[in-house]
Amino acid sequence: MTDCPALVQVFDDNVELGKRLCSFVKDRYDEAVESRGKFHIAVSGGSLPKFLKGLSKREDIDWTKWWVYFCDERYVPNDDPDSNYGALKEVLLNEISIPDPQILKINSSIPVEEAAREYEDKMRELLPSMDLDLALCGMGPDGHTCSLFPGHPLLAEEAVDIAPISDSPKPPPQRITMTYKLLRKCHQVVFVVTGESKVPMVVSSLHDDLDKTTPAGRVRPESGKLFWFLDSKAAAGLPDRSDTPSAN
Ligand SMILES: O=C1O[C@H](COP(=O)(O)O)[C@@H](O)[C@H](O)[C@H]1O
* Buried residues in 125-153 as b, exposed as e (16+ CB within 10 A): eebeebbbbbbbbbbbebbbbbbbbeebe
Taking only the tens place, the pLDDT of each residue in 231-242 is 999 999 998 755
- The yes-or-no verdict on residue 1 having pLDDT over 70 is no
Domains and CATH numbers, the chain: 7-231 (3.40.50.1360)
Q: Which of 72, 198, 214 to mutate to test the pocket of ligand 1 (most atoms within 8 A of CB)?
A: 72
Please list, in sequence order, all residues whose beta carbon lies within 8 angstroms of the beta carbon of residue 216, skipping any fewer than 6 positions away: 137, 139, 143, 144, 145, 191, 193, 201, 205
The protein residue whose alpha carbon is closest to atom 12 in ligand 1 is 138
Report whether 186 contacts 129 (CB < 8 A). no
> Of 64, 63, 50, which Cα lies nearest the Cα of 22?
50
* Confidence label for 243 from pLDDT (cuts 50, 70 and 90): very low
**How far is residue 145's CA from residue 127's CA, in Å, rounded to a whole number?**
22
Taking only the tens place, the pLDDT of each residue in 154-165 is 999 999 999 999
Q: Which of 147, 178, 229 to mutate to test the pocket of ligand 1 (most atoms within 8 A of CB)?
A: 147
Taking only the tens place, the pLDDT of each residue in 32-84 is 999 999 999 999 999 999 999 999 999 999 999 999 999 999 999 999 999 99
Phi and psi at residue 159, to the nearest 5°: -85, -30
Report whether 232 contacts 10 (CB < 8 A). yes
- Output the pTM of the full model: 0.96
**How far is residue 221's CA from residue 5's CA, in Å, rounded to a whole number?**
10
SS3 content of the chain, % helix, strand, coil (to 5): 35, 20, 50
109-116 mean pLDDT: 98
CA of 47 to the centre of ligand 1 (A): 6
Share of the chain above pLDDT 70, in %: 95
The protein residue whose alpha carbon is closest to atom 6 in ligand 1 is 46
Q: Tell me if 47 CB under 6 Å of ligand 1.
A: yes
Neighbours of 105 (CB within 10 A): 19
Phi and psi at residue 162, to the nearest 5°: -125, 125
Task: Assess: ipTM above 0.95.
Answer: yes
Taking only the tens place, the pLDDT of each residue in 166-193 is 999 999 999 999 999 999 999 999 999 9
Q: Which of 106, 144, 198, 231 to mutate to test the pocket of ligand 1 (most atoms within 8 A of CB)?
A: 144
**How far is residue 199's CA from residue 191's CA, in Å, rounded to a whole number?**
14
Q: Tell me if 18 CB under 6 Å of ligand 1.
A: no
The protein residue whose alpha carbon is closest to atom 5 in ligand 1 is 140
